[in-house]
Amino acid sequence: MPASAGKSPSGGRGLRIALDKGLQSRPLNGAWWPRSRDLAIELAQLAEGFPKRWGVIERVLFSRPDWADTAGDLTEMETPRGALAVSSFPSDDTHVVILTLDSGERMRLLVLPFDTPPDIAESVMGRASDDGNLETANALLGIAGHDQGAVWEDVWNDEPGPPPQR
């Protein structure tokens, strides 16, 4: 079942996120079930409600088809916990967000469509956040696509500033 990780800035609805117990190298570290396709609003809520024990989100890499058409225009945003650098995958079928935390660790979260029925969302989130999960986002969502597990290495470097343009 998704963990409620705090109240969102726009009201009393908690963050719908499920995380595994550690940052082991697996296809996924959990799942996020946003409430809309508005990336700016959803990232602000994710950054504010993200569990403090994991740290602060500094960078977000996202899959464009999961969000409204304006998402590609977002490159940085301010949140109550600090600035977020934002970029998109060079290929668009990942259905994942990669969060770079202030510790330098990276988390890969499956992004469920906001209109997923609750019973299906809870099941998929439970599987994605299971410490033994070896399935990719596409496999959990039941769609075809290639794994982009290491694509962030090409997009984010460790230098400050925006990611390199392709």
Span 73-128, pLDDT tens digits: 889 999 888 899 999 887 666 789 999 999 999 999 999 999 999 999 999 999 99
Beta bridge partners of 82: 79
Q: Are 17 and 30 in contact (CB under 8 A)?
A: yes
Q: Which residues contact 137 (CB under 8 A, 6 or more apart)?
A: 27, 28, 94, 95, 96, 110, 111, 128
Delimit the domains of the chain by residue range: 3-141
Structure tokens given for 156? 């984010």
What pTM was computed for the model?
0.77
Q: Which residues contact 157 (CB under 8 A, 6 or more apart)?
A: 163, 164
pLDDT tens readout for residues 129-153: 998 888 988 889 886 444 444 444 4
